[in-house]
Structure 1
Amino acid sequence: MNQCVANFIDRVLGQVKYKKAHRIIQEELQNHIEELTETHISDGMSEDEAVKKAVRKMGDPIAIGKQLHNTHKPKTEWSIIILLGSIVLFGLYIMFQYSQITTHSFNFKRQIIFVVAGAFLTLILYFVDFVGFEKYSLPIYYSVCLLLLVITFFGSDTYGRAAIVLGGFSITPSFVAIPVLLISYSGLIRRWCDGTPRNLLKLVLSSLLPLILIFMEPSLMFSCILGAGFAIMVTYGVVSKSFKGNRKKTLFILYGGLISFILITLLYTYIYVPYRFKVLTMFANPWRDPQGSGWMNIMLHKIQSSSQFIGMSKEMMSSDTKELTLPCSETDCVFTFVVGQFGWLFGVVLLGLLGLIIIRLFMASNKVRNEYGKLLGVGICCVFSIQVIIHILSNLNLFPLTGISLPFISYGGQNYLLNMALIGMLLGIYRRKDISFKQEEKSIESLN
């Protein structure tokens, strides 16, 4: 490198405190100076004169460095952190009240442990540079699929699910695998989502393998949630500028195949597993079996319809046993517990907080300039928001009861840590949202 150019770049980098941005800034400055130098040489200047003029034309290195420092210094999305803290405190309050009503006082104590562990996990992931994982996407994908395969067939059976048992704790592999699969699949989309039929087939097949393994765990709903996340991520890849194929045709094939698969699955269930089909559709008319599979849906309806604006529903407690009438009040039906125990005002506030954090998550993801980071952010937002939507809809009898917890509100460690990890990952991606070659070029050109 020419000494004049090296001195200029060193003075620029001296103003940029974020060291990880130095390499990309150096490359872009060097490329920009080389382009100017070639232009001056074509005008008849000697190489030495052309370089010096190109450097002079770049402008004040101190001013450039200060602007690039402001562009690249790590950013924190404080609105997400504030909303997350509010929802976590809301959830702790709900668990505290639940522990006062029931004999399960240990639930609240354990939930505090989950919150502390989740906060540490979020903090750790906040400082991780996830964009650096893109080049390792395929090895990461193979590793997590192999892990799922081994645990599914050789892991311990815990409450009917394959799991890893460490000491007194059991870990369900899908909760660990989902964030890692989002990291790897984002890279596979970047690699293979180019419009060619062969690579499109690779994308589809590479999504099916982990979904089948998670389904075999068995974890049907998380397989469906992750599958929906994959579909939206691929859709984003197809509509992006880097896609070279026929967008409408590709999306038609993808969603046509997906809808066909869902319809065939429902038809198969209706014909060969009628009981399961009955359970899946019971939310539409639970009075068909009020003492059987429709009982839970009827209880949800009774509690919500008798709930007040503020205060407890008369259907919340049994008049005979003085206990909660609704099973799973702290997990699968926690939204109904909130409405029934505290009133619709609390329910609306909770919906507002969850809606706001979902909006802020998608907005933060959209601001990420690196395509891989943005794609990963979209996947994270989808997996998180789909859990919220399914839980709320199923509690409102608009969707089958699926056993999906409400993030940060329902009791449970693994689900809590999963969603804390997702938020931490997105905050980590947002922290480096401005590091991209295209943004660098714009920053430099704006000073010329």
Structure 2
Amino acid sequence: MESKRRFYFDYSLLFILIFLIFFGLVMLYSSSSYLSANKFGDSGHYLKLQIRNLLFGLVAMAFLTFVDYRIWKRWGTALYVLAMLLCLAVYIPGLGRASHGSARWLYLGPISFQPSEVAKVASIFFLAMFIEHAPHAMYSVRNIFKVIIVMFPLVGVVAYMNLSTAIILFGICACMIFVASPKYKPFGVLVISAIMVGAIFVSIAGYRMARIQTWLHPENASGDDVYQTLQGLYAIGSGGLFGKGLGQSMQKLGNVPESQNDFIFTIICEELGLFGAICTILLYALILWRMMVIANNAADLYGSLLVVGIMAHLAIQVILNIAVVTNSIPNTGITLPFISYGGTSVSILMAEMGVVLGVSRQIRLDNIR
């Protein structure tokens, strides 16, 4: 009699993720309690909203974990088209609202969200379907550029309203193609093309050029961006090796604007020091390592590509956020995954982790390597 098939589930990834989420809630409360108390009369205002967002994400993660991920293969094109329509809808008067000089939020009745976040996960599903349909086509430089051309409309629409998210989309696309293709030379042309396109989108929006000038010459700049950056650097520098202690940050008392969002890593550095910053980065590294194991052992190419795309999304967003708060690159408005306050972002990330766990459930134990 044939022995019962045994399947794998990555509990390590789940436990690390849960730990990171609880750590994020602690740091979110620490960084936002002063602002919440002054602005809303409730020190736990942002914490409660984040718990609500995480619960939405948890439901999505559980659903996607226990649903066979292969059923989404047939919906790849539909998700791409939906993401495109949602991104275009922000320009419709009454539906879209501007943030930092560009339209980013879509309001549908009582529901508000960022279509660009939906575009990230839609791109992953679409590219995984597209590449898996003809994997050997990725051996051709010409076909690689076909994929780029297919993705350009969505990336272009997103870039016009949110260049930082378009950079993440481009990075996801490049990583997935890189994994599927043995060709290396096209990526040099790809990087040069991306820089040229990025320069065009920077030039058509004055506030983007101003951010670059602020980054290059912070000593001569003025305004919210340079103030936030400098105060964030003060927070990082004052933390020392082991920090001032949890809840003891001084910069969060109005010096770092909206410290619960993009610049929460600076509060981690100030309160927990270099040690806390390294531990935070190691948590992300552990999650990426577990995702790499799942991608390497996935039951099929489609599942492997899904995990690679999600892994690229998480890694790029972490790198960009830390690079921004350390003033290594211009301010871009990228959140720190699972730690920064955010509705659409954290819910989408949780849903993506559900997809990864769903892929892990289909791995045969005797095939683990």
Name the TM-score, length of structure 2 as normaliser: 0.85
1:187 corresponds to 2:123:
no
Cα deviation, residue 276, structure 1: 3.3
Shift in Å, 1:293:
4.8
1:115 — aligned with what? 54
Q: CA deviation at 1:323?
A: 2.8
Alignment partner of 1:158: what SS? strand
Deviation at 1:254, TM superposition (A): 4.0
Contact 1:316/1:324 (<8 A) preserved: no
- Shift of the alpha carbon at 1:82? 0.6
Bigger relative contact order (CA 8 A; separation at least 6): 2
282 and 122 in structure 1: CA distance in 2 versus 1, 3 angstrom threshold: same
Which letter does structure 2 place at the counterpart of 1:287? Answer: E
Aligned partner letter, 1:107: Y
The equivalent of 2:254 in structure 1 is 324
The secondary structure found in structure 1 opposite 2:239 is coil
- SS of the residue corresponding to residue 69 of structure 1 reads coil
The 3-state SS of whatever aligns with 1:329 is coil
* 1:294-320, Cα deviation, whole Å (9 max, x unpaired): 33322222222222323159x9537xx
> Structure 1's 108 and 186: CA in aligned 2 closer, same or farther, altered over 3 A?
same
Counterpart among 340, 350, 357 of residue 420 in structure 1: 350
Question: For residue 24 of structure 1, what is the aligned residue in structure 2?
Answer: none
Q: Is residue 76–residue 122 contact of structure 2 (8 Å, CA) maintained in 1? A: no
Q: Which residue matches 1:7? A: none
1:205 corresponds to which of 123, 142, 149: 149
Aligned: 1:168 with 2:99: no
User: Alpha carbons of 1:172 and 1:269: their partners in 2 closer, same or farther (altered >3 Å)?
Assistant: closer
1:339 aligns to what?
269
Of the three residues 224, 228, 232, the one matched with 2:167 is: 224
- Code of the residue aligned with 1:101 in structure 2: it is Y
In structure 2, list runs of 5 or more residues that go unmatched.
38-42
1:256 aligns to what?
Answer: 189
Query: Partner residue of 2:325?
Result: 395
Give the alignment of 1:30-429 within 5 angstroms. 62=1, 65-66=2-3, 69-70=5-6, 73=7, 75-102=8-35, 103=37, 104-153=43-92, 156-160=95-99, 161-193=103-135, 194=137, 195-196=139-140, 199-216=143-160, 218-239=161-182, 247=183, 251-263=184-196, 265-266=198-199, 269=202, 276-280=208-212, 282-289=214-221, 293-308=225-240, 309-311=242-244, 316-317=249-250, 323-429=253-359
TM-aligned CA deviation for residue 405 of structure 1 = 0.7
Name the count of aligned residue pairs: 354
How far the C-alpha of 1:133 sits from its partner, in A, is 2.9
Output the CA distance in 2 between the equivalents of 1:198 and 1:339.
46
Given that residues 333 and 395 in structure 1 are in contact (C-alpha distance below 8 angstroms), is that contact kept between their aligned partners in structure 2? Answer: yes
- Residues 364 and 284 (structure 1), Cα distance of their counterparts in 2 relative to 1, 3 Å cut: farther
Aligned-pair distance for 1:273? 6.6
